[in-house]
């Protein structure tokens, strides 16, 4: 391609491939779909999670390759969100496309907890996690979609947690729950739990509500809570440094305050607009500080929201992504 040629994704198409999970990484896929569309790119969405209800894994792979290579679709590059489904015995899908000269792009959303391997399978790799950036993978942080417009309903609870209660989150979550119970703060925990939740059943001020939380329900739960709890997972020997989708979601909503255990990038991006703690004592201090001063809490919420709107929406990430793909295609 000559230096004077302009690669336009308003003429060509980005094929955006979801993973198989009907939640979690689906939010990332929908975010990039919204962001790419917002900046004017042509997008061919491929919702793997719903197509699997109609096709077997092998037929799905053939169908995906067929749509990608069909010249009528004008696909210039294929972006895989997560890539977890298309590894191991299904890696042939990505490798077939790459071998045929189709640019394949991975946005790894599970780093550093679940590396997918396939170091030579993709044309380009991005990671949502700073500690996983290297010669093979560039950094593309997570982000959030624009939140829905919600009424300022009366507060239902003081604190909410929404997400999977992995074992490495359990002990801190249990301590926070007992703190809220003893001090009579309403704390609701929504999501998936380990088989044992010792000590948290039948409490007066703490509730465990198991099940998958829809996107609509998630926003409503955030909006009805004075504060939202974020708990970063323990990443073992490779300490994670980056913010999570929940951080950007809560901050973008502009109603609840966010309280979170500490992580390097969180402080760099948000400064003191998020309540940060290191242990249960620190949690208690920051939580009381937030509950006692509604005005200060609102100031922090407003600053955090402006931070997200200025550079951490999926339309910002989509622009970064397209710029990198253009550079790759121009080489």
Domain boundaries, the chain: 13-143+313-330, 157-311
CATH class belonging to 13-143+313-330? alpha beta
Is CATH 3.90.950.20 correct for 157-311? no
- Give the separation between CA 210 and CA 192, rounded to whole angstroms: 5
Contacts of 291 by beta carbon, 8 Å cutoff, 6+ apart: 158, 185, 226, 227, 297
Burial class (CB in 10 A: 0-12, 13-18, 19+), 180: buried
* pLDDT the model gives residue 179: 97
Task: Judge if 13-143+313-330 and 157-311 fold alike in CATH terms.
Answer: yes
pLDDT by 10s per residue, the chain, length 331 = 334 444 455 567 999 999 998 777 899 999 999 999 999 999 999 999 999 999 999 999 999 999 999 999 999 999 999 889 999 899 999 999 999 999 999 999 988 787 766 667 899 999 999 988 888 889 999 999 999 988 877 899 999 999 988 888 888 999 999 999 999 999 999 988 765 666 777 899 999 998 888 888 999 999 999 999 999 988 777 788 999 999 999 999 999 999 999 998 999 999 999 999 999 999 999 999 999 999 999 999 999 999 999 999 999 999 999 999 988 888 7
Give start and end residues of each alpha helix (H) in the chain.
25-38, 48-51, 57-69, 92-99, 167-182, 215-223, 245-253, 264-270, 280-292, 294-311, 314-330
Phi, psi for 99 (deg, rounded to 5): -65, -30
Closest CA to 112 of 296, 283, 235, 268: 235
* pLDDT the model gives residue 8: 56
* Residues 51 and 45: beta-carbon distance below 8 Å: no
Contacts of 33 by beta carbon, 8 Å cutoff, 6+ apart: 16, 43, 45
- Give the separation between CA 324 and CA 181, rounded to whole angstroms: 49
- The torsion defined by the Cα of 145, 151, 152 and 154, in degrees rounded to 10, comes to -120
HEC string for 127-170: ECCHHHCCCCEEECCCCECCCCCCCCCCCCEEEEEEEECCHHHH
What is the pTM (predicted TM-score) of this model?
0.90
DSSP tag of 238 = S
């Amino acid at each position: 391609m000559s230096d004077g040629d302009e690669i336009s994704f308003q003429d060509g198409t980005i094929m955006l491939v979801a993973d198989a999970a009907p939640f979690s990484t689906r939010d990332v896929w929908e975010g990039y779909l919204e962001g790419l569309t917002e900046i004017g790119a042509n997008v061919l969405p491929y919702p793997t999670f719903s197509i699997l209800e109609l096709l077997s894994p092998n037929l799905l792979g053939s169908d995906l390759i067929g749509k990608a290579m069909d010249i009528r679709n004008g696909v210039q590059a294929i972006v895989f969100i997560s890539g977890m489904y298309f590894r191991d015995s299904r890696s042939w899908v990505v490798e077939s496309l790459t071998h045929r000269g189709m640019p394949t792009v991975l946005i790894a959303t599970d780093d550093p907890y679940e590396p997918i391997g396939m170091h030579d399978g993709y044309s380009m790799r991005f990671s949502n996690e700073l500690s996983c950036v290297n010669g093979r993978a560039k950094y593309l942080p997570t982000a959030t979609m624009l939140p829905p417009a919600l009424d300022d309903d009366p507060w239902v609870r003081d604190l909410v947690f929404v997400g999977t209660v992995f074992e490495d989150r359990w002990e801190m979550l249990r301590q926070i729950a007992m703190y809220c119970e003893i001090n009579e703060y309403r704390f609701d925990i929504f999501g998936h739990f380990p088989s044992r939740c010792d000590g948290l059943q039948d409490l007066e001020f703490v509730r465990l509500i198991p099940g998958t939380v829809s996107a609509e329900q998630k926003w409503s739960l955030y909006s009805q809570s004075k504060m939202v709890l974020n708990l970063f997972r323990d990443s073992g020997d490779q300490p994670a440094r980056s913010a999570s989708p929940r951080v950007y979601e809560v901050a973008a909503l502009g109603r609840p305050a966010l309280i979170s255990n500490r992580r390097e990038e969180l402080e760099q991006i948000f400064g003191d607009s998020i309540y940060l703690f290191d242990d249960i004592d620190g949690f208690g201090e920051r939580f009381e500080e937030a509950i006692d001063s509604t005005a200060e809490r609102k100031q922090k919420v407003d600053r955090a929201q402006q931070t997200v709107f200025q550079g951490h929406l999926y339309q910002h990430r989509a622009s970064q992504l397209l710029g990198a793909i253009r550079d790759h295609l121009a080489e």
